[in-house]
C-alpha cells in the first residue's frame, strides 16, 4: 500500500490550511443564495434574513390573511441592520434548521425593518417600554391571528445573551398555552392600556422640569454616563442635549467625557459607535448611526460654543466628516455603518489583533499606545480612541492616526445604503446646524448642497418613505418630519425662501395626514393616516395607532413634531402652528413626567417653548449676522428675515433683533444682542 512521504503529507496539510484560511477570510465576499421570499427585498434588515431557513414574510395583508386562514399565531420580529443584538439572534437562532422548522410549522413569521419604518420601533408598549427596558432596535412579538399582541420576547439585564435554547423553550411554552387558551400574561391588555392612557390624557399646562432634571442628575451621580438597557450601554444624546441646552452642562461634563474619551468614539474614522456590549464603554460594538452621530456632533459643537474647548470643536468636525465621507453617497446618506464583530467581539476593520499591532513601526506603535489608547489592559478590543482632550489635537496623535488609517483602509466598510427620508432629513438638519454653530462655512456649504437631493423623496403628491426598487410602504410621520427639519435648517443657514416654503408644506401635510381629531394627538404609523389614499393595508397590528412618546435613537416623533411646529411658527408667524405645539405639550406633559428619562426629548422641545426668546437678523448681511450669532448662542433660534419672513421687523432696518414674548427689541449689534439673552434656556431649575 502506497504511503505518501512526510514532505508530501506536510505540503498537503499546508496547502489545505492555506486554502481554509483563504476561504474563511474571503467568506464575506461570497454571495449567498436567497432561500425565502425576502431575497429580492432592498431593505437592509429584511435582506439580512433572506438567506435563513425561516419562511419570512414582510408585514402586510398577505401575512395576516395566512395567519387567519391557517389559524396560526404570528411571530413579528422588528429589527434594524445596525443592531448587534439582532445579528446575534440571526446567527445563533434563526439560522438553525431545527429552530427554523419549528417556527415555520408553528407561526407565520414576519420581519419588519425598523430603520426604514421607525414608527414600528415605538408603537408597541409606547409607555411601558421605558419601564421594561425594551431595546427598540430589536423586538420579538407574538401576535394572535387577528393581530393582537400576545407576548414579548426581549433580552434584559438578567439574560444578557438571547440563548437559542431559552428562546425556543419560551416559544414552545407560549404556543402550548395559546392552543389551550391558557395565556397568563395579558400582553395585549398592556398595549391597550397604554393606548387608552395616551388618547384620554388630561391636559397639563405646566411641565415639571425640576423633577426630570433631578432624576437625570441622580442617575449620573450614580455613575450613569450613558443609557443602560438590558445590561448594555447605549449613547444617550437626547439626555445630554437637554442638559446642555438648559444650563446643566457643568454638572454633566464628567459623565459626557466618559463616553467621548473612550472606545465609543472612533479616533481614526471619527464618529461614535452605537453601543457597548457591557456597562463599560470598553466593549464597544461597531455600528455607527447617521442620525445619532449627527446629533452627537451638534452637542459637541454646542459645548464648544459654551466653553471654547478646541478639542470639542475638532471632535465635532471629525463626526461631521465621518457622516459626509463614510456615509455620504453620490446622492443621499447611508443610514448606518454596520458592525462586523467576530465571535471574540473584535472587528476585522476597526480593531487590532495584538499581533498586527506589534507589527506597526516602533515609533507609530509607541504613539498609538500613548495617544490612541491601544493598551489591552484598558481596551481589550484594541479600538483606537482619544484617552483625553489633550490627545485630540496633538501632532504625534495625528501621525499615528494617519498610519493606522492606511492600515485600516484595506478592508471596506459595510453600510446600510438605502436612502430613508426620516434618516436623511434629520441627519442633514443636524449637520447644517452643527456647521453653523462651528462657523465652518466650508462644511456648511457641503451640507446645504445635499438639500437638493431631498427632491428624490417627492413623487407627484406623494412622499416616498425610502428610495428603492420596491414599492415602499406608506410614509410614517417621521418621514415628513425629517424632510421638514432639513428644509428649515437650510433656510436658516441660507435664507433660501423656497426651502422654507417647501418645508412648511411638508409639515402641514403631516399635520393633516396623521391627525386624530383630538387636539395635540397625532399618530405615527402610515397605516392609520387619516388620508384614505395613504392607508394601503387592510390589516395591521391591533392598537398600534398610537403616538411615539419614548425616545429612540433621537427624540420621539411627538417631541420632534412639537419642536418643528414651534420653530416654524416663529419663522412664519403662524398662530395655528403655535397652537398645535402647545396642544401637544399640554397633552403629553403628565405622561412624559411619568415616563421620565425615556421621554427626555419631550422636555428638550418643551424647554425651547418655555424660554422662547429668539433672534431675527435683517439687511444685506442677514445670513452672516445669523451665522455669527449661532456661534455664540448655539441653542437659540436665529432667523434671517428676507422676503416675506418677519416683514414687521424688516421695516425697522438692518441689524439684530430679539423677539421675546411678542415684543421686538433692536436693532443691535451681534455682541449687544447675544449679551442680553442667555445662551441656554432659562426654565427655572
Mean pLDDT, to the nearest integer, of 130-146?
86
Cα angle vertex 334, ends 155, 130, to 5°?
Answer: 30
28 confidence band (pLDDT: 50, 70, 90): very low
Contact 645, 500 (CB under 8 A): yes
Q: For the chain, what percentages of helix, strand and coil (3-state, to nearest 5) are there?
A: 50, 10, 40
Helix 441-449 to helix 421-438 angle (10° resolution) is 160
Q: How confident is the model at residue 182, as a pLDDT?
A: 62
Strand partners, 78: 112, 139
Q: How confident is the model at residue 240, as a pLDDT?
A: 94
Task: State how beta strands 655-660 and 614-618 pair.
Answer: antiparallel
> Nine-digit cell at 117?
419604518
Order of strands across the sheet that contains 232-234: 227-229, 232-234, 275-276
Q: What does the pLDDT look like over 321-332, one tens digit per residue?
A: 999 999 999 999
Q: Under DSSP, is residue 504 helix (H, G, I), strand (E, B) or coil?
A: helix
Q: What does the pLDDT look like over 239-280, one tens digit per residue?
A: 999 999 999 998 889 889 989 999 999 999 999 999 987 777
Nearest Cα residue to 491 out of 633, 641, 636? 641
Reply yes or no on whether the pLDDT at 337 is more than 50.
yes
Q: What does the pLDDT look like over 105-115, one tens digit per residue?
A: 999 999 999 99
pLDDT, greater one: 265 or 375:
265
Q: What is the pTM of this model?
A: 0.91
Reply yes or no on whether the pLDDT at 456 is more than 90.
yes
pLDDT, greater one: 189 or 487:
487
Q: How confident is the model at residue 620, as a pLDDT?
A: 95
Helices (H), 308-347: 310-321
Residue pointed to by grid coordinates 428676507? 642
Q: What is the mean pLDDT of the chain?
A: 87
Q: What does the pLDDT look like over 223-235, one tens digit per residue?
A: 555 565 556 788 8
Top-confidence range, 293-307, 336-350, 540-554? 293-307
Q: What does the pLDDT look like over 555-599, one tens digit per residue?
A: 999 999 999 999 999 999 999 999 999 999 999 999 999 999 999
Q: What does the pLDDT look like over 528-563, one tens digit per residue?
A: 444 444 455 677 888 888 899 999 899 999 999 999
> Nine-digit cell at 153?
420576547
Q: Which helix (H) or strand (E) holds 75?
A: strand 74-79
Mean pLDDT, to the nearest integer, of 623-630?
97
Q: What does the pLDDT look like over 635-651, one tens digit per residue?
A: 999 999 999 999 999 99
Nearest Cα residue to 585 out of 205, 311, 210, 303? 205
What's the CA gap between 131 and 193, in Å, rounded?
14
452 confidence band (pLDDT: 50, 70, 90): very high
Amino acid at each position: 500500500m502506497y504511503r505518501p512521504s512526510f514532505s508530501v503529507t506536510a505540503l498537503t496539510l499546508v496547502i489545505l490550511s492555506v486554502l481554509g484560511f483563504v476561504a474563511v477570510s474571503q467568506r464575506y465576499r461570497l454571495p449567498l443564495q436567497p432561500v425565502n421570499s425576502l431575497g429580492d427585498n432592498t431593505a437592509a434588515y429584511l435582506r439580512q434574513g433572506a438567506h435563513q431557513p425561516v419562511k419570512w414574510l414582510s408585514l402586510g395583508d398577505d401575512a395576516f390573511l395566512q395567519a387567519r386562514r391557517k389559524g396560526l399565531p404570528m411571530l413579528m420580529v422588528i429589527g434594524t441592520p445596525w443592531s448587534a443584538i439582532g445579528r446575534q439572534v440571526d446567527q445563533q437562532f434563526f439560522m438553525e434548521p431545527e429552530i427554523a422548522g419549528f417556527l415555520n410549522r408553528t407561526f407565520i413569521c414576519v420581519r419588519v425593518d425598523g430603520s426604514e419604518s421607525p414608527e414600528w420601533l415605538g408603537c408597541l408598549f409606547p409607555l411601558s417600554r421605558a419601564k421594561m427596558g425594551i431595546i427598540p432596535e430589536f423586538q420579538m412579538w407574538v401576535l394572535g391571528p387577528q393581530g393582537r399582541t400576545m407576548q414579548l420576547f426581549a433580552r434584559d439585564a438578567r439574560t444578557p445573551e438571547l440563548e437559542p435554547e431559552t428562546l425556543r423553550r419560551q416559544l414552545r411554552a407560549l404556543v402550548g398555552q395559546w392552543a389551550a387558551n391558557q395565556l397568563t400574561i395579558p400582553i395585549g391588555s398592556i398595549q391597550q392600556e397604554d393606548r387608552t392612557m395616551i388618547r384620554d390624557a388630561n391636559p397639563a399646562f405646566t411641565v415639571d422640569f425640576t423633577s426630570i432634571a433631578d432624576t437625570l442628575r441622580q442617575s449620573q451621580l450614580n455613575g450613569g454616563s450613558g443609557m443602560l438597557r438590558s445590561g448594555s450601554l447605549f449613547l444617550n444624546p437626547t439626555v445630554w442635549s437637554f442638559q446642555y441646552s438648559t444650563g446643566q452642562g457643568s454638572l454633566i461634563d464628567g459623565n459626557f467625557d466618559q463616553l467621548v474619551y473612550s472606545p465609543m468614539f472612533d479616533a481614526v474614522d471619527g464618529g461614535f459607535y452605537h453601543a457597548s456590549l457591557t456597562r463599560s464603554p470598553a466593549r464597544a460594538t461597531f455600528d455607527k448611526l447617521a442620525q445619532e452621530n449627527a446629533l452627537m456632533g451638534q452637542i459637541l459643537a454646542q459645548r464648544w460654543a459654551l466653553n471654547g474647548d478646541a478639542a470639542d470643536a475638532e471632535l465635532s468636525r471629525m463626526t461631521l466628516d465621518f457622516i459626509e465621507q463614510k456615509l455620504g453617497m453620490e446622492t443621499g446618506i447611508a443610514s448606518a455603518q454596520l458592525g462586523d464583530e467576530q465571535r471574540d467581539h473584535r472587528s476585522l476593520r476597526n480593531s487590532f489583533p495584538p499581533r498586527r499591532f506589534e507589527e506597526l513601526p516602533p515609533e507609530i506603535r509607541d504613539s498609538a499606545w500613548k495617544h490612541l489608547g491601544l493598551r489591552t489592559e484598558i481596551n481589550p478590543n484594541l479600538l483606537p480612541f482619544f484617552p483625553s482632550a489633550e490627545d485630540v489635537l496633538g501632532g504625534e496623535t495625528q501621525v499615528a492616526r494617519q498610519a493606522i488609517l492606511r492600515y485600516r483602509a484595506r478592508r471596506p466598510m459595510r453600510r446600510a445604503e438605502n436612502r430613508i427620508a426620516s434618516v436623511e432629513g434629520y441627519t442633514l438638519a443636524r449637520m447644517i446646524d452643527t456647521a453653523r454653530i462651528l462657523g465652518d462655512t466650508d462644511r456648511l456649504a457641503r451640507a446645504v448642497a445635499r438639500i437638493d437631493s431631498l427632491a428624490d423623496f417627492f413623487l407627484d403628491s406623494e412622499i416616498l418613505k425610502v428610495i428603492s426598487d420596491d414599492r415602499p410602504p406608506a410614509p410614517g410621520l417621521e418621514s415628513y418630519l425629517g424632510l421638514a427639519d432639513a428644509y428649515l435648517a437650510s433656510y436658516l443657514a441660507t435664507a433660501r425662501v423656497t426651502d422654507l416654503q417647501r418645508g412648511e408644506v411638508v409639515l402641514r401635510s403631516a399635520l393633516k395626514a396623521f391627525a386624530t381629531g383630538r387636539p395635540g394627538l397625532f399618530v405615527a404609523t402610515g397605516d392609520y393616516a387619516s388620508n384614505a389614499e395613504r392607508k394601503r393595508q387592510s390589516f395591521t397590528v391591533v392598537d398600534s395607532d398610537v403616538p411615539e412618546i419614548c425616545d429612540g435613537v433621537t427624540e420621539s416623533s411627538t417631541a420632534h413634531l412639537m419642536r418643528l411646529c414651534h420653530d416654524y411658527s416663529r419663522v412664519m408667524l403662524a398662530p395655528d402652528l403655535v397652537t398645535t405645539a402647545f396642544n401637544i405639550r399640554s397633552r403629553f406633559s403628565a405622561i412624559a413626567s411619568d415616563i421620565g428619562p425615556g421621554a427626555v426629548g419631550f422636555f428638550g422641545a418643551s424647554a425651547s417653548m418655555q424660554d422662547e426668546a429668539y433672534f431675527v437678523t435683517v439687511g444685506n448681511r442677514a445670513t452672516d449676522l445669523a451665522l455669527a450669532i449661532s456661534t455664540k448662542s448655539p441653542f437659540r433660534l436665529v432667523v434671517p428675515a428676507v422676503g416675506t419672513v418677519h416683514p414687521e421687523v424688516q421695516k425697522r432696518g438692518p441689524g439684530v433683533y430679539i423677539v421675546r414674548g411678542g415684543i421686538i427689541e433692536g436693532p443691535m449689534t451681534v455682541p449687544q444682542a447675544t449679551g442680553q439673552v442667555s445662551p441656554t434656556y432659562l426654565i427655572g431649575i
